[in-house]
Amino acid sequence: MIFRLPESECFDNLSDREFDHWTVKWFYGQQKGQAMFLCECVCGVERPVRASSLRSGRSTSCGCMKDTTRKDYRKSDESN
């Protein structure tokens, strides 16, 4: 489904899709001309995220996975 905005801009509805650790819940609004969607992270945090950040992979989680990634990297580094 494509939403039409008053300025005749349009964007894809990303609702119910998953991007890395995010699950898109619904359209949240616009910020500086960018479509925003309310997303839920695997840890349960809900946060508005830009559609472009979801598609590009720039946003993969709320930040909860950063510690996990660092710990995994340290473990592999210590084994060498």
**Digitized pLDDT (tens) for each residue of the chain, 80 residues in all:** 555 554 445 678 899 999 999 999 999 998 888 899 999 999 999 999 999 999 999 999 999 887 665 555 455 555 55
Count of beta carbons in the 10 Å neighbourhood of residue 41? 20
Q: Are 23 and 39 in contact (CB under 8 A)?
A: yes
Going 2 to 20 to 55 to 5, the CA torsion angle's sign is positive
Q: Considering the entire predicted model, what is its pTM?
A: 0.71
Which residue is it, tokens 């995994």? Answer: 72
Domains in the chain, number: 1
Closest CA to 21 of 49, 48, 43, 42: 42
The range of the structural domain enclosing residue 61 comes to 2-78
The reported pLDDT for the residue numbered 8 is: 41
Phi, psi of 24 (to 5 degrees): -80, 130
